[in-house]
A and B are shown apart, each in its own frame.
Chain A
Amino acid sequence: AQKITQTQPGMFVQEKEAVTLDCTYDTSDQSYGLFWYKQPSSGEMIFLIYQGSYDEQNATEGRYSLNFQKARKSANLVISASQLGDSAMYFCAMRDKPSTGGGNKLTFGTGTQLKVEL
């Protein structure tokens, strides 16, 4: 069974500083992928970044980067130059192998609530 662990229920960061949100995972699959989603107070889930297990380089998308350490089974999200609009809940998720039907299931962590302060 797959498992995602986010050990930080809440984090604070000063505006313009960088912040790292932790995520560790457990899987017996060789092929898998890791996601980070952002959920503002409005409730929508916003896709931020994706890393495949065979990708050699860490994924980056603008101010977001994924620090992928395969041997340690960690996939931490780094947000550089934090902004007030980054205040939100952040979820780490992992996809499994395609099922018989071809759909990928996502297993989510419990989330980290990030608050950016002036």
Chain B
Amino acid sequence: DVKVTQSSRYLVKRTGEKVFLECVQDMDHENMFWYRQDPGLGLRLIYFSYDVKMKEKGDIPEGYSVSREKKERFSLILESASTNQTSMYLCASREGGSNYEQYFGPGTRLTVT
């Protein structure tokens, strides 16, 4: 079974802190994704990566950056956390080619105070 893990289920940070959210997948997937989920807005794509060191902006990249130094790991970075970044963050991965299913991690609920 594909397993996508995220470093924390719950995280509380202060405004202005630098925050790292880590995601690891164990199926050698080429593509990895970061979403945020807010009530009434569904899931929105922040960034994705289709290969090591490669990344593309999603729909809401402002205030975030990402890093993918190894194939299995994709990190989301909040350079200076703000209260409007309080949200649920979901990581996903996908094989390349025509298998389009994305496999999701359990999510990290981030609160910025």
Q: Are A102 and B43 in contact (CB under 8 A)?
A: no
A105 to B94, CA, bound (A): 11
Cβ-closest 7 pairs across A and B: A101-B50, A45-B104, A103-B50, A108-B42, A108-B43, A103-B31, A110-B42
Q: Are B43 and A99 in contact (CB under 8 A)?
A: no
User: Distance in Å from the Cβ of B16 to the closest Cβ of chain A?
Assistant: 27
Q: Are B44 and A108 in contact (CB under 8 A)?
A: yes
The residue from A91, A103, A105 contacting B42, defined by CB atoms under 8 A apart: A91
Q: Are B102 and A106 in contact (CB under 8 A)?
A: yes
Q: Are B44 and A33 in contact (CB under 8 A)?
A: no
Q: Bits for A89-110, please: 1 = Cβ < 8 Å to B, else 0.
A: 0010101000111111111111
Q: Are B90 and A45 in contact (CB under 8 A)?
A: yes
A39 to B107, CA, bound (A): 11
With A44-B107, A99-B50, A99-B56 known as contacts, the answer to whether A105 contacts B45 (CB < 8 A) is: yes
What number of A-B contacts does a CB cutoff of 8 Å give? 66
Q: Are B30 and A50 in contact (CB under 8 A)?
A: no
Q: Please list the residues of chain A having a beta carbon within 8 angstroms of any beta carbon in chain B.
A: 4, 33, 35, 37, 42-45, 47, 50, 91, 93, 95, 99-111
The reply on B51 being an interface residue by CB < 8 A is yes
The residue from B56, B90, B107 contacting A103, defined by CB atoms under 8 A apart: B56
Q: Are A105 and B88 in contact (CB under 8 A)?
A: no
Q: Chain A residues near B25: list those with CB within 8 A.
A: none
Q: Bits for B20-59, please: 1 = Cβ < 8 Å to A, else 0.
A: 0000000000110101000011111100111100101011
Q: Are B31 and A104 in contact (CB under 8 A)?
A: yes
Query: In chain B, what residue has the closest Cβ to A92?
Result: B42
The residue from B42, B58, B88, B106 contacting A109, defined by CB atoms under 8 A apart: B42
Q: Chain A residues near B63: list those with CB within 8 A.
A: none
What are 18 A-to-B residue pairs whose CB atoms are below 8 Å?
A: A4-B42, A35-B100, A42-B106, A43-B88, A43-B107, A44-B107, A45-B90, A47-B102, A99-B50, A101-B51, A101-B56, A102-B30, A102-B96, A103-B33, A103-B48, A104-B100, A106-B33, A110-B42
The residue from B35, B50, B88 contacting A102, defined by CB atoms under 8 A apart: B50
